[in-house]
A = this chain, B = another copy of it.
Amino acid sequence: MAVITVLGSGIMATALATPLTDNGHEVRLVGTHLDREIITSIQETGIHPNLGLKVPDGVTAHQLEDAPRAFEGVEFVMSGVNSFGVDWAGDQFASLLRPGMHVIALAKGMQADDDGNLTILPRALASRLPEELRSRVSVSAIAGPSIAGEVAVHRHTSVVFTGEDPEVLTRWRELFATEHYHVWTNTDFVGVEVCAATKNCYAFGAGFMQGLLDAMGEAAGDRYVNYNYGAALFGQASVEMIQFMELLGGKPTTPIGLPGIGDCFVTSMGGRNVRCGRLVGSGMTFSQARAQMPGVTLEGAAAIVVIGRAVVRLTERGIVPPERFPLLRHLYEVVGLDQPVAVPWDSFFGGDGSGQA
C-alpha cells in the first residue's frame, strides 16, 4: 500500500481520495493558503465543507506549513490545485519534491505567451522546477469526464491518465483503478491536455441555449426547448477540438472518446461555467454576468480568454487561418471583449455559405 500526498484540497483532489483509499492507500491532503478552513473542518469533523461529504478513512488533512512532513518519504504526489494555482504549486514543488517522485496533476487549462504559443499546464508546472530536479521526477495528468462529487460517491467514472512515460502511467493506474473508477492511459500528453482545456471553453457556450429561453420568458414555455441550438454548438466544438490537435500537435483521434467528446458532454451538463454562459445567453454582457457571481472561480471563462487571445494572435502571425475556430473566436468576443452573443452559424462546419459540411 502506498502513501499519496496531495497539494490542494479542493473538491476534485479530495474526491480522488475515494478510489485511492478504496484500494487501501493512505492519502495526505495538504491545503493551500486558501484551503485553511477546509483543512480545519476535515481535522475537526472529517467533513469537506464544499464536497458536503465525510472524507474516507485513510485520509489525513494538513495545513500548508506541515507540507514538508507530509511530503517526506512519499513516492507519489498529486497536484490538486486548479488552473489558477499551477505556477504557485510548481514553486512549492520546487522545494518539496525529491528525485524519484511522481506527480500527477488535475488542473485543466493552458498558458500562453505574447506570441500566442500555448503550453499545457503539466508542462507549465514542471517548468517551475529547478532543472536538475525536473529531469528526475515525472509529471503526468488526469483528464476525462469526472464530476468530483460523483467520484466521491462511487458513481462509475471513466478517465484518462496522460503523460510521457507509459510505465509511470501504468503505476498511477494501478493505484487508482477500482471497480467504479475506470482508468485508461494515453501518451498523447499534448492532445489529451488540450482537450481538457478546450472543452472547458466550449462548455461555457452550452449555457447559451438555456439563456436564450430565459430571455424569451414565459413565451418559450417548456414544451419546445433549445437543444437543436446546443447540439450544433456541441458538434462544432468537436470539429474545433480536432483542429486544435493539428495546431498544437495532438493526435486527431484523441478528442474522440473520453478526453474530448466525453468530457465536453459532462462539462456541458452544468456547473459554474454553464451557469455563467446561461446568464450571458439571456442577454447580459460577460462583465454583468460575472458581477452576479462574486467570488466564483470560472476556469472555463479564463481558458476562453487565454486560448481565444492566443488564436487571434496566431492568426495575426499567419499561423492559423481566420476561418478556423469560429466558435472559439466568438466565445472570446463574448467573454474577452464583452460583446453580445451572436452565434456565427454559417461559419461552422467549414461553412462559407456554400453549405459543404
Contacts and interface: CB of A to CB of B under 8 A. Distances in A.
Nearest to A151: B228
A150 B185 contact: no
Interface in A341-357: 343, 345-346, 348-349, 351, 355-357
Copies in the complex: 2
Contacts of A64: none
A238 interface: yes
Contact of A158 (B158, B177, B232): B232
Contact of A228 (B157, B160, B259, B270): B157
Given A146-B228, A182-B232, 14 more contacts: A147-B228, A152-B224, A156-B229, A157-B232, A158-B345, A173-B355, A185-B356, A228-B266, A231-B266, A235-B265, A236-B262, A238-B238, A238-B257, A242-B256
Contacts of A151: 228
Interface of A: 52, 144-147, 149-153, 155-158, 160, 170, 173, 177, 182-186, 223-232, 234-236, 238-239, 242, 256-259, 261-263, 265-266, 269-270, 343, 345-346, 348-349, 351, 355-357
Given A155-B226, A224-B152, A262 B232 contact: yes
Contact of A261 (B146, B153, B224, B261): B261
B227 A170 contact: no
Given A235-B145, A263-B231, A357-B184, A258 B349 contact: yes
B231 A145 contact: yes
Given A184-B349, A186-B357, A235 B262 contact: yes
A82 to B, nearest CB: 19
Contacts of A348: 158, 182
A236 B223 contact: no
